[in-house]
Amino acid sequence: MSNIFVVDHPLIQHKLSILRNKETTVKEFRELVGEISALMFYEASRNLPTQDIDVETPLAIAHCKQLAGKKLAIVPILRAGLGMVDTIVSLLPSAKIGHIGLYRDPETHKPVEYFCKLPDDIGNRRVFVVDPMLATGGSAIAALDALKSHGCRHITMMNILGCPEGVAAVQAAHPDVDLYLACIDEKLNEHAYILPGLGDAGDRIFGTK
């Protein structure tokens, strides 16, 4: 079974309540997606390996820890996942970035892949996949399938909002992947949108509707 982590810190809950509001502007929405992503990443990165290092302070030697290896990659699912990248990369400036482009067919709600560009050595990297929404789970599963076909073995998925259907689908298809969410909402509507949700994340980030 994958591990499901709901990162329900008060700061995240507060920001999520503003994110959901239909009156929130595109500018505010973008900023909030970035802020929530950074706060969630703090928790999602908790188990990154460290190595011991001695540092000379002006007064003495301090026994410290630094991130070991640093072979990390952030992979947003386009479009909406792009909104989560910048603040995470600001915490991990040496991470590589891959892109997987998927859109949901409006009739079938199944993902259609239109772009995939990953770092050459992605199979040797620990990967964080980011996308604000986990609805049916189809897009997440397709992205995880693509990453595994490139040799990735250590993958964490980060979604701001999910629902029981999407979480169950990802768990069933990819039981080895850890899932971090800010909230698991109630259900999907007949158009496979999350209820109560926040609407269409891509449209709200990019102002396309």
Q: Which does 197 bind (CB under 5 to 8 A by kind): ligand PRP, ligand URA, none?
A: ligand URA
36, 182 contact by CB (below 8 A)? yes
Compute CA distances 152 → 45, 51, 129, whole Å: 17, 23, 11
Q: Which does 185 bind (CB under 5 to 8 A by kind): ligand URA, ligand PRP, none?
A: none
Nearer to ligand URA by Cβ, of 122 and 202: the residue is 202
CA 7 remoteness from chain centre: 12
Q: Which does 184 bind (CB under 5 to 8 A by kind): ligand URA, ligand PRP, none?
A: none
Instruction: List interacting residues with ligand URA (CB under 6 A).
Output: 133, 135, 193-194, 197, 200-202
Q: Is 197 in the site for ligand PRP (CB under 6 A)?
A: no
26: left (phi over 0), alpha (psi -120 to 50) or beta: alpha
CA neighbor of 27 nearest in space, from 206, 177, 182: 206
Q: Is 80 in the site for ligand PRP (CB under 6 A)?
A: yes
**Per annotation, catalytic residue among 104, 125, 126, 204:** 104
What are the backbone dihedrals phi and psi of residue 28, each rounded to the nearest 5 degrees, phi first? -65, -40
From 3-11, 50-58, 65-73, 133-141, span contacting ligand PRP (CB under 6 A): 133-141
Q: Is 139 in the site for ligand PRP (CB under 6 A)?
A: yes
Active site residue 57: no
What are the backbone dihedrals phi and psi of residue 98, each rounded to the nearest 5 degrees, phi first? -110, 165
Catalytic positions are 104, 108, 200, 203
